[in-house]
Structure 1
């Protein structure tokens, strides 16, 4: 996880477009990015999405319609959105947001590839949170 560097662009404006399902990030140099909520949700930095190590990620599905219902700044370094599916543990640092914003095409491809590899439909409902199928012995 990279920390904040003086080069990390900090957005001067953050706009939640509920109708079009995008988060708009505006930067001082005039750049502006519109990042779909679904992409943000799927790449949430939270432990429940990322797991606690490589290969432990939980593939997120059924997030096409997810919206951001609230968003809070955390210190001067991150945003913490609350999503309509109740997910609110992701802390999106400025560098992560910029990374997602500038690599959207690549991240979409990666996500769709993962879905295909897992044989899972993008709109499949998520399994009950935290409970793997079957019982733990």
Structure 2
């Protein structure tokens, strides 16, 4: 897990907008960011998504319509959302949330590039965990 630095902004407010599917993060400096659930989901810090080392990430697809059904605070350092697809193992530290909020455009581009490179459609359903379709990770 990435280390928390003392200057990582901690949101003063977190609002789940179910209809527009964005997580609104409000900060003390008056800034607020709307982070799409899909972006949060495909960049989940969980081992299930990130793997256990570089190059082991699992490319997430079919998450455009995913929603957040619950958000639990974890200590004073993270949020743990439960997504409508059942994914709930991602611990989003304050620095991760701030990165997702402030770097959205670059992260979207990176995600779309990864999809294109893999020849995968953004809305393709994910195969069941453990199902292997010859996806080699070199």
TM-score bracket for this pair, using the shorter chain length: over 0.9
Deviation per residue, 1:65-98 (Å, 9 max, x gap): 0000000000000000000000000000000000
Deviation per residue, 1:35-69 (Å, 9 max, x gap): 00000000000001001111110000000000000
TM, length-normalised to structure 2? 0.95
SS at match of 1:20: coil
- How far apart are the structure 2 equivalents of 1:47 and 1:85? 16
Q: Following TM superposition, where does structure 1 have runs of at least 4 consecutive aligned residues deviating by more than 4 angstroms?
A: none
Structure 2 unpaired stretches of 5+ = none
Structure 1 unpaired stretches of 5+ = none
| Number of the residue aligned with 2:51 | 51
With 44-53 and 123-132 compared, the bigger mean Cα shift is at: 123-132
- How far apart are the structure 2 equivalents of 1:50 and 1:131? 17
| Number of equivalenced pairs | 134
